[in-house]
Amino acid sequence: MLRIFAGGNLEAAAIELETARVAFVALGNRHQIAQSTRFLGNVRRLQGAFELSGQLLGEAEALYKEIGDEHGLAACALAFGYLRNNQGRRELSIASFRSARDIFGTLKM
């Protein structure tokens, strides 16, 4: 999938991510569901589908909260920052980036 994404074929990457998400749902792997949903949200943002991107990022964020994944929450906040920046929503973008910074700052890596 990363090869497809790096090659610039965003729709092919989206299809791969959707396929992966279905498989992770079948396996019940909530962490991988959240991660593939977040990645798909990023791809949709790059395609200009901002509303869909926001929905997907919101789903991923909710899953990360359910499973207690702080790194995933920080990554979602960062992704929301990029989305809001692309939408021209500067103040919300800055708030999202600050949230990501704060969460990442608390992580022990």
pLDDT tens across 60-103, in order?
Answer: 999 999 999 999 999 999 999 999 999 999 999 999 999 999 99
Give me the pLDDT at residue 8, please.
75
Give me the pLDDT at residue 108, please.
75
Domain with 51, as residue range(s), is 2-106
Residue type, 14: A
Give me the pLDDT at residue 9, please.
85
Per-residue confidence at 1, pLDDT binned at 50, 70, 90?
low
Own/partner pairs for 17-25, CB < 8 Å, 24+ apart?
A: 17/43
Contact 56, 68 (CB under 8 A): no
Among 3, 92, 69, 76, which Cα is nearest to 42's? 76
Q: Over the stretch 14-71, which tens digit does the pLDDT of each residue have?
A: 999 999 999 999 999 999 999 999 999 999 999 999 999 999 999 999 999 999 999 9
pLDDT at 4 over 90: no
**Overall domain count for the chain:** 1
CATH code (residue 77): 1.25.40.10
